[in-house]
Amino acid sequence: MLTGSNKESQLMEVEIIRPTAELIYQLRVSPDKRIVVIRHLIYSDGELVAYDTKYIPYFTGIPIVEKEINYITFPEIIASRTSIFDVHRNISISMEMPTVEIAKRLQLQADDPVIVVKQHILDQDRSPIGFGQLYCRYNKCRIEGVSVIGE
């Protein structure tokens, strides 16, 4: 969870790419499949706190025009493919040293770590339908959770 009370998101870009080896693995797609990449900067109380990248295998009907995608949420994008109630998320959280690109986007010093939240979005058959990476400034993020016994 990002700290602060007034959060805003700024769409940086939307593009269609060929998958990298990591995306082929994460999304279980063929090398010739196209992937939609959505990048946002996230601000809290006017301060840059996170950089978010989402990867979605391209399918007919997915909005790729920036004007359209700026006002649509990730669940709305995938709702045309599967029921939102059938979607599962696997999340991993780690602290890492950012790449040069991530440090530049978050305006960090080279030795500032980031908290990385990786999210795998799966359909009812546990097949990947999306993958996201959220890079948070280490001092602007806190981790909270709720455990339910029996699940």
> How large is the average pLDDT for residues 27-55?
92
Count of helix runs (H) and strand runs (E) in the chain: 4, 6
Phi, psi angles (nearest 5°) of residue 23: -70, -35
CATH number of the domain that 83 lies in? 3.40.1410.10
Distance CA 5, CA 76 (A): 24
CB-CB contact of 104 with 110 (8 Å)? no
How does residue 83 score in pLDDT terms, banded at 50, 70 and 90?
low
Which residues does 124 contact at the CB level (< 8 Å), separation at least 6?
A: 82, 83, 86, 87, 88
Q: Is residue 132 part of a domain?
A: yes
pTM of the model: 0.81
Q: Is residue 108 part of a domain?
A: yes
Q: Is residue 23 part of a domain?
A: yes
Q: Is residue 149 part of a domain?
A: no
Q: Is residue 150 part of a domain?
A: no
Q: Is residue 151 part of a domain?
A: no
* 61 torsion bin: left (phi>0), alpha (psi -120 to 50), beta (else): left
Distance CA 5, CA 83 (A): 31
Q: Is residue 125 part of a domain?
A: yes
Residue 82 or residue 99, greater confidence = 99
Count how many domains the chain has: 1
DSSP tag of 104: H
Domain that holds residue 92: 7-140
> How large is the average pLDDT for residues 122-141?
89
| Max intra-chain CA distance, the chain | 43
Distance CA 26, CA 33 (A): 13
Tell me: the pLDDT tens digits for 46-78? 899 999 999 988 876 655 554 455 555 565 666
